[in-house]
Amino acid sequence: MNYRHIYHAGNFADVLKHAVLARLVDYLKQKDKPFRVIDTHAGIGIYDLSSEEAQKTGEWLDGVGRLLEKNIPAKVAPLLASYLQAVTSLNPDGGVQFYPGSPKIARHLLRSQDRLSLMELHPEDYETLHANFDGDFQTRVTHLDGWLAMNAHVPPKEKRGLILVDPPFEKDGEYKRLADYLGKAWRKFPGGVYCLWYPLKKGAPIPEFHAALHALEIPKTLAVELTVRSERDTTGLTGTGLIIVNPPFTLKGELDILLPFLKERLGQDRSASARAIWIRGEG
Ligand code: SAM
């Protein structure tokens, strides 16, 4: 396990993922009934962007750094409000030295009746995550394989929930694994909201991945993709994707407003593009 999210925290992929995560949690809060957020690959929860690791790549400068460098247009601001509140809550004096990972964003938005389950397999990152939630009785932090948890922890006892699956994509075959594990989890918990992250880069098997998701026959599956630069000169990340199962019915319309803004603000060259398309469902 070589991946450490501190090198990437707050980058353009985090911005899209965390903005959508916050909207999904906001939506679950429209009903009083409690729900659970299950974050299978949680990371450490809080990232110090002034640390040597984050400064080394400077990825956040082209992510949350750019997002906050100018005013956000009035029609977009409400769609980013909950996400940005979570960022501000860690930086009460302004700026963005501390960046919240998915666990802290979800936790910031929970009500007293809601719960959070976090899994992290890296031993040191697990310890840091655990310390970051010390004494929080609404959150359970487990040193466990997130793939196992994705299956074993659904359905949650609340019978309402959001499952975030954000693996590091260090190994071959992760796209297939993501689709396979989604199929298994969804059969156990078809009413859950699922949010799965995947990378866009040169050679990524995106058409095959979308076809595998389509073959699962899950009625409402949305793909959200933001490309920020051309694949021509890099083997690194050129874009970011999310699969959302059972999205709130308002989400597609919101993305049609949010994505063009993110493309403009975070795009790095003329290849920048964004789309939200139904793999199966309302399209
Ligand atoms: N979800 C986090 C966020 O948005 O703030 C970032 C997570 S990062 C992309 C992926 C994390 O998964 C890393 O912290 C890594 O140590 C952890 N990880 C890798 N393999 C895992 C596994 N099999 N089960 C649980 N965690 C794993």
pLDDT at position 283 is 58
List, for residues 107-136, the tens digit of each pLDDT value. 999 999 999 999 999 999 999 999 999 999
List, for residues 124-175, the tens digit of each pLDDT value. 999 999 999 999 999 999 999 999 999 999 999 999 999 999 999 998 899 9
Ligand 1 binding pocket includes 181 (Cβ within 6 Å): no
Ligand 1 atom with least separation from CA of 197: 9
Ligand 1 atom with least separation from CA of 45: 5
Whether the pLDDT of residue 191 is over 70: the answer is: yes
125 alpha carbon – ligand 1 mean position (Å): 9
Residue owning tokens 């919101």: 254
Rounded to the nearest 10 degrees, how much is the dihedral formed by the CA atoms of 208, 209, 211, 212? 120
Cβ within 8 Å of residue 70, ≥6 positions away: 265
Write out 34-54 in H/E/C secondary structure: CCEEEECCCCCCEEECCCHHH
Nearest residue to 105 (alpha-carbon basis) of 182, 15, 196: 15
Are the C-beta atoms of 35 and 164 separated by less than 8 Å?
Answer: no
Whether the pLDDT of residue 1 is over 80: the answer is: no
List, for residues 31-59, the tens digit of each pLDDT value. 999 999 999 999 999 999 999 999 999 99
The token pair at 84 is 């940005």
Q: What is the mean pLDDT of residues 181-188?
A: 98
Ligand 1 binding pocket includes 147 (Cβ within 6 Å): yes
Separation of CA 221 from chain center: 16
**DSSP structural state of residue 240:** E
Whether the pLDDT of residue 28 is over 70: the answer is: yes
Ligand 1 binding pocket includes 65 (Cβ within 6 Å): no
Ligand 1 binding pocket includes 122 (Cβ within 6 Å): yes
The token pair at 127 is 């310890």
Whether the pLDDT of residue 213 is over 90: the answer is: yes
Ligand 1 binding pocket includes 145 (Cβ within 6 Å): yes
181 alpha carbon – ligand 1 mean position (Å): 16
Ligand 1 binding pocket includes 120 (Cβ within 6 Å): yes
Q: What is the mean pLDDT of residues 222-237?
A: 92
pLDDT at position 282 is 74
Domains annotated for the chain, with CATH where assigned, are 5-280 (3.40.50.150)
pLDDT at position 235 is 80
List, for residues 239-268, the tens digit of each pLDDT value. 999 999 999 999 999 999 999 999 999 999
43 alpha carbon – ligand 1 mean position (Å): 5
pLDDT at position 91 is 97
Are the C-beta atoms of 186 and 236 separated by less than 8 Å?
Answer: no
Ligand 1 binding pocket includes 121 (Cβ within 6 Å): yes
Ligand 1 atom with least separation from CA of 47: 5
pLDDT at position 197 is 98
Q: Identity (one letter) of the amino acid at 54?
A: A
Ligand 1 atom with least separation from CA of 5: 8
How far apart CA 261 and CA 185 sit, in angstroms, is: 33
276 alpha carbon – ligand 1 mean position (Å): 25
Question: Known catalytic residues?
Answer: 166
**Which residues make beta-bridge pairs with 243?**
196, 223
164 alpha carbon – ligand 1 mean position (Å): 11
The token pair at 151 is 């299956």
Question: For residue 233, what pLDDT band results from cuts at 50, 70 and 90?
Answer: confident
The pLDDT mean for the chain works out to 96
